[in-house]
Amino acid sequence: MYLTKETKAEIFAQHGGKAENTGSAEGQIALFTFRINHLTEHLKKNRHDYNTERSLVKLVGKRRSLLDYLKKTEINRYREIIKVLGIRK
């Protein structure tokens, strides 16, 4: 399994404040970005895996929704998370 309990805790600790703060928008965006990067690498090797491709598109949409929410409510947090994770737009 590529996403262990320790990896999730580390991601939330870095971006969500604490490892227990799993509901923060920044933590969720960071987790989605980690999963998107993993699925992208998987699809480079397995081009005809359409179920994974669909999952990737859904994850990108969820991340986009959270980013739009942050942009609308707190623009500074949005700019910071974009810069830290290296997300375009």
When divided into structural domains, the chain yields a total of: 1
Predicted pLDDT of residue 20: 84
Closest CA to 63 of 42, 34, 41, 40: 34
Per-residue pLDDT tens for 71-88?
A: 999 999 999 999 999 998
* Tally of CB atoms within 10 A around 77: 15
For residue 46, what is the domain's CATH number? 1.10.287.10
Q: What range defines the domain where residue 45 resides?
A: 5-85
Side-chain-facing half-sphere of 53: CA atoms under 13 Å = 8
**pLDDT at residue 6 greater than cutoff 90:** yes
Contacts of 10 (CB under 8 A, 6+ apart): 19
pTM: 0.91
Per-residue pLDDT tens for 13-67?
A: 999 888 888 889 999 999 999 999 999 999 999 999 999 999 999 999 999 999 9
